[in-house]
Structure 1
């Protein structure tokens, strides 16, 4: 069984996202441990990039804070290697094609697997271009996680049929960020995925920030993904963000288990 599948084995999964190195890598390490202890089932680790096209202003600023603090891909790998000794839940990288290309695709994927990463999400690589990464991911033992958006329509079944790990359902059009309400028919998207691939789990992200929203999204899918609301806590509390984030993750996990 893919390690990522384990995240969904115990019921609805809560998946937090964090930008590595925001505010610094030492704090990131503590946050990852705290999130795992507070009920996270899988953690998305953002590798900072200067032009994160899928991100809204909150995560863009998190990327800038991390980069201006001197975070590099190699430093992120070293941090993951350390944290892996204590954190057993699945972890995936979320970054951009350019980060992988500039490091060297094969070198990046081999090293990611070696330090204990289980999968990869590349928001700027559409399904039609995933052949540039999918075979190498498979060779390295990583799941290349597919994203579907409300506009995917006829492509949903095609994407789902080949999906690895889980399917990332994008709840809203546009970039990441906190939204007051989510109006997309997530249930319909999930049904299309399951028709094409009954074994794959679907987690919903983009725009979820409150326990109520998380519960609503988890009710029609297999889990909820939260990024901007957590990065906002990093911006607010800096090096003191560990406890507020742990409390937040705990409240979100409780909400989706109801």
Structure 2
């Protein structure tokens, strides 16, 4: 049986569509609300959800996501509680779920325990943003034993030799899904001004050939137009995009729970329509 996350990419490829991966910081504005917002995002057209574990020192995240993490921690979000939300989402949807985290919560809880709890919650892959691929072997083994993938990240400063090293270190193990590669579109933190997203789409096409896996572009995507640029042409470019900060900003600015749900539905719908527009 094909893994859920791999099956989604097969379906998208057959339909000639780009993947829309949406990041939510779980616990912002509350643990209960995060589950509802996740389901709203799926209903509005998200193909994959990244469910973020809030961390006190999110070095890859800009001010918007850092504030979201602070609010989530204040609301009681922990790795275990994020996985409880993931389980509630899984009970309502078959959309692929990626657990996005920094390594410290994984280290504290234990790699094998996190992989087991993630699998029990219905998670499909782990994305550990600050774990170098050369150091990720033990976690990848624990994840594969539970049928989970570990998503590698490639930065715009990664030269050809470094990309090859990442590819070798992140080759999917037996039992794990192929999942995807996360291509960071620019240097710096999330939420910064968009870079050359058209170039990022072209780079993603080369990465897909190197890794023989789907490649999603993230960072700097703040609306439908930039999503289309980052995804590239229908016949090439990236396999899809990841959007987080722009959505977190809309959740932060909404004055009520109803407004938050409408904001998520409206913005994810905008991104979906832009990605699906004929070239």
> Normalising by the residue count of structure 2, what TM-score does the alignment of the two structures yield?
0.87
Aligned pairs (5 A) from 1:69-84: 69-84=75-90
Superposition deviation, residue 187 in structure 1: 3.8
Which of residues 253, 261, 265 in structure 2 aligns to 1:236? 253
Long gaps (5+) in structure 1: none
Q: Which residue number in structure 2 is paired with residue 156 of structure 1?
A: 163
Range with greater deviation from structure 2 (152-161 or 30-39): 152-161
Consecutive unaligned residues in structure 2, runs of 5 or more: 173-177
CA RMSD of aligned residues (A): 1.6
**1:167 aligns to 2:181 (yes or no):** yes
Deviations 1:78-114 (A, max 9, x none): 2221221112110111101101111111111101011
Question: Does the aligned pair in 2 maintain the 1:150–1:184 contact within 8 Å?
Answer: no
**Aligned partners of 2:124 and 2:149 also within 8 Å:** yes
User: For 1:187 and 1:59, how far apart are their aligned partners in 2?
Assistant: 24
The answer to whether the 8 A contact 1:52-1:96 is kept is yes
Match of 1:108 in 2: 114
Deviation track 1:195-221 (CA, whole Å, cap 9, x = no partner) reads 3233x1010001111110001111221
User: Is residue 204–residue 217 contact of structure 2 (8 Å, CA) maintained in 1?
Assistant: no
Q: Which residue of structure 2 aligns with residue 52 of structure 1? A: 58
SS class of match (2:106): helix
The answer on whether the counterparts of 1:93 and 1:119 sit within 8 Å (CA) in structure 2 is yes
TM-score by length of 1: 0.94
The residue that corresponds to 2:4 in the other structure is 3
For these two proteins, the number of residue pairs brought into alignment is: 257
Matches for 1:157-236 after TM superposition, within 5 Å: 157-160=164-167, 162=171, 164-182=178-196, 185-198=199-212, 200-219=213-232, 220-236=237-253
Q: Distance in 2 between matches of 1:180 and 1:110?
A: 37
Range with bigger deviation, 183-192 or 104-113: 183-192
Report the Cα distance in structure 1 between the residues aligned to 2:197 and 2:238, rounded to whole angstroms: 15
